[in-house]
């Protein structure tokens, strides 16, 4: 039996090791001797980079928790007018890239922006010395913007946890005359803590890996240090060492989150469909809840989208250019290729797991999913190291055979950016196909084997028709995530090659947000697709 699975075994392990190669390359390169650039950074600015990163993550976590947790409890435990629309709208900010929100808010709140101009005209102030206004281009401003974009992680997970809590516990709290606040503090919040911890870890990892927002707000973090070290100093060794520090920080975040709930076990029945134990808000409480929830949606999505729509309408002629169409095709090309490759890889590792049910077959699935936790900037350094070595080997081989050197076939073409997307987002495809395959009865495998089907034919004739929807969803999610990815694309794009994300970033960095509005709207609309899918799945469960 093992001989029959040799092809699947080789493919599954080979592809999974290929995907983990960038992470291994980072630590291998970082283990080498320190050079002058890294020593200089350690002696001068590394402490500032590390401190800024720490406080950025902490501040963003606090603000995201402040935004997302009350909204999650209100939507799960209270009746509100228009709640069906509101519970869907609160997820929308996740589709808005953080750097786009940052550019718009900076344009609004800067000294030359409309808000400060209005305040000076209204109160008769003449200069910045006449009044105080918070500086939007600061660590606090960057944290606020990131929290507005990332709070839906906490909202989604916390709301799902609140909805799954036992009706009997909530009714018991009411019998003991607990107020809504006491019920939240003493019952709902402790039970939802594991989900909240997962949401916080996701927000922390996204904040740690952000480059576009912090770069525009002039906040120097470890991510900007990796970017500057590679592009400014052209020093791969120093960039790898900083990337290794970030990977260790991410590992510690994940480990701390799991350690905090290692002994926590929950045995509860979710809210029954016939039992409505939600609170009916009225008066000031109702309006306060509505203002809070709709205020989040407006500040994080509606107002920025309206501003982008205004710019796109008035500058459509200047935005609809051959470059815009060419870069849209570039994004489509690399994202579609990455999606197809990720789905094929996910099929291989998951089907190998199904054919050979031993525990060791779970290892390729797990190591293939590691790239999702790696920030795009760090992953770009990890991809660049092995691909650069592969280019050197290929050119040396061509010279030894007295052939013309092919040049940068891997690191200087779309291969690098596609490889990075596959490594980064394969976990999404693997998870989707894994859940789809789990729903296929093992009796169908036995029946196919009884009819003499080989494993490849069994996959093609039996499993693929049944998991077709899961494969399409997996490909769609990888495609959308690849379209929006900025960090890896900035570092790995070939010369004269732009994606929509880098196109928007370049215009906005040059203070030309008006010309970036049309491609930014396209990115936002693309990002709405997975949010609609997630919200529909939550509605089906509850």
Mean pLDDT along residues 387-410? 87
Q: Are 380 and 488 in contact (CB under 8 A)?
A: yes
Average the pLDDT over each of 149-153, 161-165, 397-401 and give the range with the smallest value. 161-165
- CA dihedral 84→89→90→95, nearest 10 degrees, is 150
171: pLDDT strictly greater than 70:
no
Rounded alpha-carbon distances, angstroms, from residue 321 to 103, 142, 452: 22, 31, 57
pLDDT of residue 174: 65
CB atoms within 10 A of CB 329: 11
As a whole number, mean pLDDT of residues 83-101 equals 86
Residue 507 predicted with pLDDT over 90:
no
3-state secondary structure 207-258: HHHCCHHHHHCCCCCHHHHHHHHHHHHCCHHHHHHHHHHHHHHHHHHHHHHH
Q: How many helices (H) and strands (E) does the chain have?
A: 27, 2
Please give the Cα distance from 432 to 346 (Å, whole number).
9
CB 515 within 8 A of CB 315: yes
pLDDT band at 151 (very low <50, low <70, confident <90, very high): very high
Q: How many CB atoms lie within 10 A of CB 194?
A: 18
| DSSP 8-state assignment for residue 263 | S
**360: its two tokens:** 């060791």
**Sequence-distant contacts of 114-118: CB under 8 A, at least 24 apart:** none
Residue 540 pLDDT more than 90? no
Q: What angle, rounded to 10 degrees, do the helices at 376-400 and 414-438 form? A: 120
Listing DSSP states for 481-517 in one string gives HHHH--HHHHHHPPTT---HHHHHHHHHHTT-HHHHH
Can you read off the two tokens belonging to residue 118?
A: 């209005």
**Three-class HEC string of 83-116:** HHHHHHHCCHHHHCCHHHHHHHHHHHHCCCCHHH
229 vs 527: CA distance, rounded Å:
31
Query: Which of 422, 407, 390, 414 has the alpha carbon at shortest distance from 492?
Result: 414
CA angle 187, 191, 196 (to 5 degrees): 120
180-204 average pLDDT score: 76
CA pair distance 81, 298, nearest whole angstrom: 17
Categorize the per-residue pLDDT at 1 as very low, low, confident or very high, splitting at 50, 70 and 90.
Answer: very low
Give the residues across from 290 on adjacent strands.
none
Mean pLDDT value of segment 458-481: 83
Mean pLDDT of 263-274: 50
Tokens standing for residue 475:
């490909």
Q: Calculate the alpha carbon distances from 429 to 276, 289, 341, 470 in Å.
A: 36, 37, 10, 9
pLDDT in tens, 312-363: 998 888 888 888 889 889 999 999 999 999 999 999 988 888 887 777 878 8
SS3 280: strand
pLDDT at residue 198, as a whole number: 80
The pLDDT score that the predictor gives to residue 272 is 47
- The least confident of 175-179, 278-282, 310-314, 377-381 is 175-179
Tokens of 526: 């693309």
Measured in Å, how far apart are the chain's first and last C-alpha atoms?
Answer: 44
SS3 275: coil
Which of 173-187, 222-236, 297-311, 476-490 holds the top average pLDDT? 297-311
Residue 403: the pLDDT is 84
What average pLDDT does the structure give for the chain? Answer: 83
pLDDT of residue 537: 58
- Is a pLDDT exceeding 50 seen at residue 500? yes
What is the predicted pLDDT for the residue at 416? 92
Q: CA 111, CA 109: separation in Å to the nearest integer?
A: 7
What are the φ and ψ backbone dihedral angles of 223, each rounded to 5 degrees? -65, -45
What confidence category does residue 58 fall into, taking pLDDT thresholds of 50, 70 and 90? Answer: very high
When pLDDT is cut at 50, 70 and 90, the band that residue 273 belongs to is very low
pLDDT of 298 over the 50 cut: yes
Percent of the chain predicted with pLDDT > 70: 88
Taking the model in full, what pTM does it have? 0.83
Mean pLDDT on 106-122: 88
d(CA 270, CA 163): 7
Q: How many angstroms separate the CA atoms of 432 and 347, rounded?
A: 10
Q: Give the start-end residues of each E strand in 251-299.
A: 279-280
Domains and their CATH numbers in the chain: 1-30+332-384+411-496 (1.10.3720.10), 34-314+510-542 (1.10.3720.10)
Q: Does residue 437 carry a pLDDT above 90?
A: no
Mean pLDDT of 133-140: 88
Instruction: Out of 134-138, 184-188, 526-530, pick the least confident.
Output: 184-188
Q: How confident is the model at residue 422 (pLDDT cuts 50, 70, 90)?
A: very high
In angstroms, the CA 92 to CA 77 distance is: 21
CA torsion 26-30-32-37 (nearest 10°) is 120
What pLDDT band is residue 36 in, cutting at 50, 70 and 90?
A: confident
Whether the per-residue pLDDT at 110 is higher than 70: the answer is: yes
At 235 the pLDDT is 80
Give the tokens for residue 44: 């001068």
Give the pLDDT of residue 176: 63
């Amino acid at each position: 039996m093992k001989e029959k699975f040799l092809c699947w075994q080789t493919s599954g392990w080979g592809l999974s090791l290929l995907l983990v190669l960038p992470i291994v390359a980072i630590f291998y390169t970082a283990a080498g001797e320190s050079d002058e650039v890294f020593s200089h950074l350690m002696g001068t600015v590394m402490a500032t980079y590390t401190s800024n990163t720490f406080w950025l993550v902490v501040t963003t976590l606090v603000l995201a928790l402040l935004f997302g947790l009350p909204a999650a409890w209100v939507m799960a435990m209270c009746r509100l007018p228009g709640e069906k629309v509101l519970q869907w709208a609160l997820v929308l900010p996740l589709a808005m890239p953080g750097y786009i929100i940052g550019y718009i808010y900076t344009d609004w709140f800067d000294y030359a922006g409309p808000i400060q101009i209005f305040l000076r005209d209204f109160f008769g102030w003449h200069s910045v010395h006449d009044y105080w206004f918070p500086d939007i281009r600061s660590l606090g401003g960057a944290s606020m913007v990131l929290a507005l974009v990332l709070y839906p992680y906490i909202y989604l997970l916390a709301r799902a946890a609140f909805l799954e809590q036992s009706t009997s516990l909530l009714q018991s709290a009411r019998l003991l005359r607990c107020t809504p606040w006491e019920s939240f503090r003493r019952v709902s919040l402790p039970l939802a803590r594991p989900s909240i911890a997962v949401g916080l870890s996701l927000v922390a990892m996204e904040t740690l890996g952000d480059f576009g927002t912090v770069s525009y707000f002039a906040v120097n973090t470890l991510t900007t240090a990796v970017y500057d070290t590679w592009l400014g100093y052209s020093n791969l060794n120093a960039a790898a060492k900083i990337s290794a520090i970030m990977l260790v920080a991410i590992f510690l975040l994940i480990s701390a989150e799991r350690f905090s709930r290692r002994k926590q076990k929950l045995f509860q029945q979710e809210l029954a469909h016939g039992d409505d134990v939600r609170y009916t808000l009225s008066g000031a409480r109702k309006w306060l809840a509505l203002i809070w929830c709709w205020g989040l949606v407006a500040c994080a999505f509606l107002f920025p989208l309206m501003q982008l729509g205004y710019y796109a309408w008035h500058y459509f002629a200047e935005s609809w250019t051959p470059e815009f169409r060419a870069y849209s095709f570039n994004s489509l090309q690399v994202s579609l290729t990455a999606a197809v490759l990720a789905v094929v890889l996910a099929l291989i590792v998951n089907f190998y797991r199904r054919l050979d049910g031993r525990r060791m077959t779970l290892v390729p699935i797990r190591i293939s999913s590691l790239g999702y936790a790696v920030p795009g900037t760090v992953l770009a350094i990890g991809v660049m190291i092995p691909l650069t070595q592969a280019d050197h080997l290929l050119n040396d081989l061509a010279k030894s055979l007295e052939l013309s050197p092919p040049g940068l076939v891997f690191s200087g073409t779309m291969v690098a950016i596609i490889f990075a997307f596959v490594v980064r987002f394969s976990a999404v495809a693997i998870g989707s196909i894994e859940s789809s395959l789990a729903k296929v009865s093992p009796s169908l495998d036995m029946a196919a084997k009884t009819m003499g089907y080989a494993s490849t034919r069994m996959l093609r004739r039996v499993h693929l028709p049944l998991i077709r929807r899961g494969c399409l969803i997996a490909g769609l999610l990888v495609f959308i995530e690849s379209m929006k990815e900025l960090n890896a694309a900035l570092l790995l794009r070939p010369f004269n090659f732009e994606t929509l994300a880098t196109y928007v970033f370049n215009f906005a960095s040059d203070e030309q947000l008006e010309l970036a509005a049309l491609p930014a709207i396209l990115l936002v609309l693309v990002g709405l697709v997975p949010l609609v899918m997630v919200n529909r799945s939550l509605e089906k469960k509850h």
